[in-house]
Amino acid sequence: MNRSWIILVVVYILSFSFLVHRYTQLPLIVEDSGKLLPTSIKQIRSATDERSLQEWIQAAAKQGEKISVAGMQHSQGGHTYYPGGIMIDMKSYDKILAYHPEEKMIRVQSGITWEKIQQHINPDGLAIRVMQSQNIFTVGGSLSVNVHGRDIRYGSLLDSVESFRLLQADGSIIEVSRTQHPELFNLVIGGYGLFGIILDVTLKLTDDELYQMYTHKIDYKDYASYFKEKVRANPAIRMHIARISVAPESFLKEMYVTNYLLYEDQSLREKYQPLKKETIIALPKFLLGLSRYSDWGKQILWDTQLAYFQSKNGDLITRNNVMRSESQFMEYENTNRTEVLQEYFVPVDEFASYIDDLRKLLKREDLNLLNITIRYVEEDEQAVLSYAKEDMFALVLLINQGRSAKEVEKTQKVLRQMIDVTLDHRGSYYLPYYPYPTKEQLHRAYPRAKEFFEKKTPL
C-alpha cells in the first residue's frame, strides 16, 4: 500500500508527457471577423522588428512556406490567412517612426491603427486625410484594401500616401513611391498583401477642422442630383454620409443624409478637440439586436436613428472626431450566425434606377439586411485593382446570416444576383469581403484583375 505512490507517480509522468505532446499537436484554427472561414494554419508569428521579419521571409522562401499578413483581420474573405500557412500578425508592429507636424507628414509602422495615429496628431491640430469611418483598423490593412470613407475632398487613400517600404517575398526591402518602383505603388495599394509585407508608410496629413453637422431626410430619387448640386458643388461640405432604409415601410425609398460643413468660426475648434470615446453602447446595441430578429425592430431602429441624427443637427464636431465612428455596439456574438458586409459601387447617375432594381430583387428574395450606408468615391483608377471607374456611390450593406454551408449557399444565391444587377449598372463590388461573387463577376468588375494576377505570379 505504501509503495503505491511510486506507481501513481510513474503513471502520472507518463500521462503528463503523452498529454502535453497531444496538446502541442492540436491544430491551430484561425478566423477573421466574418467568421465564415475557420481555417487550420501552421503558425502565428507576431512581428516585432524588421530584422526578424526579414529572416522569417527569407527562411520561408527557402522552405517553400506560405506567408499571410494580418492586421485587425476585419476583411472577411480569409484574406489574412492561408491554409497550412504562417500568419504574420502585424498588430504589435505599430510604432510611429517619424512625425513632422510642420510638414503634415507622419511615418508609421504598418501595424499601427488609425486610432493610435489620431491620439498622436490630434493635439497638434492635425487629422487624417482618407480613412474608414471607424478608426480601429491598421494602416497596412487599410492600404491593402485601398479604403475610402466619409471624406469627399481628398480623393483616395492612395493620394495621401507619399511612399512606403515593402518587404518582398525574396527578403529584400525596397522603397516604393510614385518615382521608385512605381509599378508596385499601384499594385500594393489595394493589393491585399499579395506583393509583400508593407513595413512602414509615409502619410500626408491635413489640418483638423471644425465642422457643423446637418442631417435631413431625402427621397432616393432625389439623392444623385442633390449630391451633385448641393454637396459636391459646395466646397464647404467636407464630409458626407447617407443611409437608406431597410425598414419594411420605407424599404429602399427613404434616406437621410448627413453633411459636415466647415464651420465659419474655426477658433472654436480647440474647444471640441478632445477625442471622443464610445460611451452610449447599450441602447444602440439593443436596438440593433431587435432589428436583427424582426421587421418592427428594423422600423424602430430606422426611426430612432433618424430622430437621433436629426437631434444632432447643428452640432459642432472636429474632423478627428468624425473619423472615429462607434463600432462596439455592433459586436455580435452568436454561434450559429454572423454579420457580414458587402459593398457595391454604382455610378452616381445610375443610383435611382439601381435602387429600383435592387428593391425588386430583394422583395422577391430573402435577405436579412440590417443597414445600408452610402458614401461617395471620386473616380480613381490609379490602383490596379480599383473600384471607382467613375464617380460612384458606395453602398455598404450589413447582412445577418447563418454560418452553416446551407445558409452560406442561400445568401450566396441572393448576393450573386445583386452583384449582377450592380454590374449591369456599370458598377463594381468591394473585394475585402466574403468571396460570394463568381470568377466571372470578379473579372467583370475588375478588368485589370488578370494583369494583377500575372504580376503576382513571378514573385
Partner 1 sequence: MNYQRFVASQSFVMTAGSIVFPFYLLFIRNIGDSYSQFGLAYGLFALTAALSHVWIGKLTDRYGDRMMLLVHAWGMAGLMLLIPISTEIWQIYFIQIVMGLLGAVQKTTEKTTISRFTEPATAGKTIGYYHFWTSIWPAIAIIATGYLIDFLTIGSLFYLASLLYMVAALKLTSTLNRN
How crowded is the C-beta side of 335, counted as CA atoms within 13 Å?
0
Q: How many whole angstroms separate alpha carbon 303 and alpha carbon 297?
A: 10
Stretch 97-136: interaction string toward partner 1, x if CB under 8 A? ----------------------------------------
Interacting residue with partner 1 among 7, 19, 233, 282 (CB under 8 A): 19
Beta strands in 245-325 (DSSP E): 254-262, 316-318
Please give the grid coordinates belonging to residue 342: 458587402
In angstroms, what is the minimal distance from the CB of 8 to partner 1?
6
Task: For the segment 23-62, give every residue that binds partner 1 (CB under 8 A).
Answer: 23, 26
Task: Rank residues 24 and 179 by Cβ distance to partner 1 and give the closer one.
Answer: 24
In angstroms, what is the minimal distance from the CB of 407 to partner 1?
16
Task: For the segment 328-357, give every residue that binds partner 1 (CB under 8 A).
Answer: 333-336
How many residues touch partner 1 under the rule CB under 8 A: the total is 17
Interacting residue with partner 1 among 10, 20, 268, 459 (CB under 8 A): 20
Rounded to whole angstroms, what are the CA distances from 254 to 188, 292, 297, 382, 426? 39, 20, 17, 34, 24
Task: Rank residues 334 and 438 by Cβ distance to partner 1 and give the closer one.
Answer: 334
Quickly count: other Cβ atoms within 10 Å of residue 171's Cβ.
Answer: 17
In angstroms, what is the minimal distance from the CB of 6 to partner 1?
9
Q: How many whole angstroms separate alpha carbon 12 and alpha carbon 273?
A: 62
Alpha helices in 125-250 (DSSP H): 139-145, 182-188, 220-226
Task: Rank residues 348 and 408 by Cβ distance to partner 1 and give the closer one.
Answer: 408
In angstroms, what is the minimal distance from the CB of 48 to partner 1?
14
Interacting residue with partner 1 among 15, 234, 266, 438 (CB under 8 A): 15
Interacting residue with partner 1 among 9, 59, 98, 283 (CB under 8 A): 9
In angstroms, what is the minimal distance from the CB of 243 to partner 1?
31
In angstroms, what is the minimal distance from the CB of 286 to partner 1?
16
Q: How many whole angstroms separate alpha carbon 285 and alpha carbon 329?
A: 5
Task: Rank residues 7 and 405 by Cβ distance to partner 1 and give the closer one.
Answer: 7
Residue type at 125 in one-letter notation: G
- Residue 282 makes contact with partner 1 by CB under 8 A: no
Alpha helices in 342-430 (DSSP H): 351-364, 405-424
Interacting residue with partner 1 among 7, 22, 277, 363 (CB under 8 A): 22
Task: Rank residues 2 and 179 by Cβ distance to partner 1 and give the closer one.
Answer: 2
Q: How many whole angstroms separate alpha carbon 165 and alpha carbon 174?
A: 6
Q: How many whole angstroms separate alpha carbon 117 and alpha carbon 135?
A: 9
In angstroms, what is the minimal distance from the CB of 23 to partner 1?
5
- Cβ contact 212:259 at 8 Å: no
Burial 262-277 (b: 16+ CB within 10 A, else e): bbeeeeebeebeeeee
Q: How many whole angstroms separate alpha carbon 386 and alpha carbon 187?
A: 10
- Cβ contact 341:76 at 8 Å: yes
- Residue 12 makes contact with partner 1 by CB under 8 A: yes
Task: Rank residues 8 and 282 by Cβ distance to partner 1 and give the closer one.
Answer: 8
Task: Rank residues 29 and 236 by Cβ distance to partner 1 and give the closer one.
Answer: 29
In angstroms, what is the minimal distance from the CB of 43 to partner 1?
14
In angstroms, what is the minimal distance from the CB of 16 to partner 1?
6
- Cβ contact 258:242 at 8 Å: yes
Q: How many whole angstroms separate alpha carbon 245 and alpha carbon 250?
A: 6
Q: How many whole angstroms separate alpha carbon 345 and alpha carbon 187?
A: 20
Q: How many whole angstroms separate alpha carbon 241 and alpha carbon 150?
A: 6
Task: Rank residues 234 and 334 by Cβ distance to partner 1 and give the closer one.
Answer: 334
Task: Rank residues 23 and 265 by Cβ distance to partner 1 and give the closer one.
Answer: 23
Coil vs helix vs strand at 382: coil
- Cβ contact 151:200 at 8 Å: no
In angstroms, what is the minimal distance from the CB of 337 to partner 1?
11
In angstroms, what is the minimal distance from the CB of 284 to partner 1?
20
Give the number of residues written for the chain.
459
In angstroms, what is the minimal distance from the CB of 35 to partner 1?
12
Interacting residue with partner 1 among 16, 286, 293, 453 (CB under 8 A): 16
Task: Rank residues 5 and 277 by Cβ distance to partner 1 and give the closer one.
Answer: 5
- Residue 7 makes contact with partner 1 by CB under 8 A: no
Alpha helices in 189-281 (DSSP H): 220-226
* Chain positions contacting partner 1, by CB under 8 A: 2-3, 5, 8-9, 12, 15-16, 19-20, 22-23, 26, 333-336
